[in-house]
Structure 1
Amino acid sequence: MDIWLDGRAELIATASLKLLFSVLRRSIAHAQRRGRVVRNVADYVVVPEGRPGRPSKSLSLSQAESILCAEEGTWIHAYVVLALLVGTRPEETRPLTWQHVQLDPDGEEKPHVQVWRSVRRHGEMKTYKSRRSLAMPRYVVTVMKAHRDQQQAALEESGRSLLPEGLVFPHPSGKLRTAQDVRRNFRGLLRGAGLPNPESWTTRELRTSFVSLLSDHGLRIEDIARLVGHSGSSTTERVYRKQLRPVIEAGAEAMDEIFSKD
């Protein structure tokens, strides 16, 4: 196992290597409980360092404005608008159905998206706090209504109608889009928006951009953590440290007010 892991370390990042080792260790433990193996050899292995991980990045405000104007009227434009301005994960956005997109809610509720399921087995969410309902900015509501109307018109041409359980961003076959398909279309949109090196971007970086833009605007990290569905602000700081404001100004500003000499 040491030799095999050393070979993998030349190909994958350290984080991926640790996940792979965790799967191996649990698999052997499963066999051990059933008497298939005497001991878990993974307990005696030290995970080597893998390749440096790919650092995440985020869109600048000007870049974000550019892609929000690219390929308007297409499904990938609606996908990007929702992911960038609401902060949903890729695995939450792909399986989203219309019954969970409340564009015209009753009462005083604001239009919102119910992030209640993912592409994980049985639709479970990444964490307990990942299940959340998020208000949609006005621009998102406008884009999503146009996307819904366009999808409805296309279905009516073939004698069908838009169902509540229907996917918001379906593949032309009607099935769930793959991550690769979304990523390919996303990079095409970036290319159309004039961003350099579109192949270096992933759809997950719409989420880091969401965090970055809110942080630059001055939103509290605790509020950002709730929006992105993290169990606490420590996770947000650890995962998105480069996207968060490096200088926390609130304390200094408060002290200036408290001890003002003027």
Structure 2
Amino acid sequence: MSERINGFKASIYPERHPETKKFLHYVGVLDLGHHPNGKRNRPKRKAATKEAVREKLTKLADEIKSGIKVEEADTVIKVATDFVDLLERQGRAPSTIRNHRKNLRNHLVKIGHIKLGDLTVQHVEDWLAEVAESLATGTLRQAHNLLSRAIDHAMRRDKVTRNVSRMATQIKGKPTGRESKSLSPAQVQAIFAIALIHRFAPYVVLAITSGLRVDELNALTWNDLDLEEGAVGTVSVVRADRHSGDTKTAESKRALQLADIAVTTLLAHQKRQRKEFATRGMVVSRETRVFTQEDGSPYRTKAARRDFRHVLRKAKISNPEDWTTRETRTTFVSIMSDAGVRAEDIADMCGHDVKTLFRYYRKQLKPRLRQSANVINSVFGAAA
């Protein structure tokens, strides 16, 4: 039966089984003329009743008039998968893509059957409430963020006019894991005491006294350090051990003055490394990584964590297995904060903004922070 819907010619008819002739459903068709290749442009919608089909065709006609290019096959999971495929083609880190596909497979699939054009805020909030029962807050936010970004991409391609995912209320997941903790000044002093003995201690000393991220420490070369006995030393952060080789953010590129204990320890470490390389017929150059394993290979996160715990055992710090290498950064923030250094100064030294500092290190910051006259040695000189 032919009719007009929002100015478009349309028809609705029953579809039957080709053999049994049993009624299956109603089919609605909008006549949109022809595609550029000459083929007829006749999108279809199906439903159990004529009225339901008419509602779908009306919605489709509205979308076409508003410039939206939604397809019947555009489900949430398809749109999200297409977005992750795009990120992979753009060269995002393999670990990032693996994490996204895990979220697709384990979490977004629970809302994935819904067509993008039918998705509502209520759908998203119901989904968040369901997955929150089994996910930690961080994982829940990752899955929700992936959905929001995928719909943002769909909006840029004129598939939807608004992002209902970003309109949904944020909720927390189950309380799992633990917050980062800080080494105490006494524990820092114990590590400083073995700084010239343990081959990995210089890594830990530099981490505690500079707040560098693990991937920044792993990527340091001797060209990034300016060291001279009895002089002020500096470290320049220009790269990180990441997929792109670049630092995490633009703000992460920075230069820092080194604490005296770091300069002394790094100079001794440089001599040790030269001897280790010489036994293998190798030479330490300005481009050599500052921190290398005994076989000369660069450190990665897992190896750094292993040797960090060796240092803690040597320094007689209890329960070394309870610590991770990234907590040297928490220690830096904690000690600097306790010394009265302003949050803005700590954020600059860490290479991120104050908002991030408060979000991840809130418990380490004093309610009121004062300006410190000496940012480095007044803090770590006392701790040493």
TM-score greater than 0.5 by the shorter chain: yes
Alpha-carbon separation, structure 2, partners of 1:182 and 1:138: 23
1:98 corresponds in structure 2 to 222
2:245 corresponds in structure 1 to 123
State yes or no: 1:61 paired with 2:185.
Answer: yes
Alpha-carbon separation, structure 2, partners of 1:117 and 1:55: 27
Aligned counterpart for 1:149 among listed residues 271, 279, 283: 271
Closer, same or farther: CA 241–34 of 1 in aligned 2, 3 Å: closer
Cα deviations by residue, 1:37-58 (Å, 9 ceiling, x for unpaired)? x77xx95587763232521211
SS in 1 for 2:236: strand
- What is the CA-CA distance between 1:15 and the residue it aligns to? 1.9
SS in 1 for 2:256: strand
Q: Which letter maps to 2:282?
A: R
Cα deviations by residue, 1:224-250 (Å, 9 ceiling, x for unpaired)? 12111123x333233211111234578
Alpha-carbon separation, structure 2, partners of 1:8 and 1:176: 39
Cα deviations by residue, 1:170-205 (Å, 9 ceiling, x for unpaired)? 234433322111111112221222222222211111
The answer as to whether partners of 1:75 and 1:169 remain within 8 angstroms in 2 is: no
SS in 2 for 1:246: coil
Report the identity percentage. 39
Instruction: Compare 143-152 and 193-202 and name the one that shifted more.
Output: 193-202
Which segments of 5 or more consecutive residues in structure 1 lack a partner in the other structure?
251-262
Aligned counterpart for 1:237 among listed residues 354, 358, 376: 358
Q: Which letter maps to 2:278?
A: E
The answer as to whether partners of 2:342 and 2:370 remain within 8 angstroms in 1 is: no
2:338 corresponds in structure 1 to 216
Q: Given the two structures, how large is their TM-score scaled by the length of structure 1?
A: 0.79
Instruction: Compare 186-195 and 141-150 and name the one that shifted more.
Output: 186-195
Q: More relative contact order in 1 or in 2 (CA 8 Å, sep 6+)?
A: 1
The answer as to whether partners of 2:210 and 2:332 remain within 8 angstroms in 1 is: yes
2:367 corresponds in structure 1 to 246
SS in 2 for 1:123: coil
Alpha-carbon separation, structure 1, partners of 2:170 and 2:355: 25
Between structures 1 and 2, the one with greater helix share:
1
The answer as to whether partners of 1:9 and 1:49 remain within 8 angstroms in 2 is: yes
The answer as to whether partners of 2:276 and 2:294 remain within 8 angstroms in 1 is: no
RMSD between aligned residues: 3.1
Q: Which letter maps to 1:58?
A: S
Alpha-carbon separation, structure 1, partners of 2:321 and 2:277: 32
Which segments of 5 or more consecutive residues in structure 2 lack a partner in the other structure?
1-107, 112-127, 372-384
Q: Given the two structures, how large is their TM-score scaled by the length of structure 2?
A: 0.56
State yes or no: 1:196 paired with 2:318.
Answer: yes
The answer as to whether partners of 2:340 and 2:370 remain within 8 angstroms in 1 is: no
SS in 2 for 1:110: coil
Equivalence map 1:1-262=2 (5 Å): 1=108, 3=110, 9=132, 12-26=135-149, 43=164, 49-52=172-175, 54-70=178-194, 72-104=196-228, 110-231=232-353, 233-248=354-369
Q: Which has the larger radius of gyration?
A: 2
Aligned residues: 244
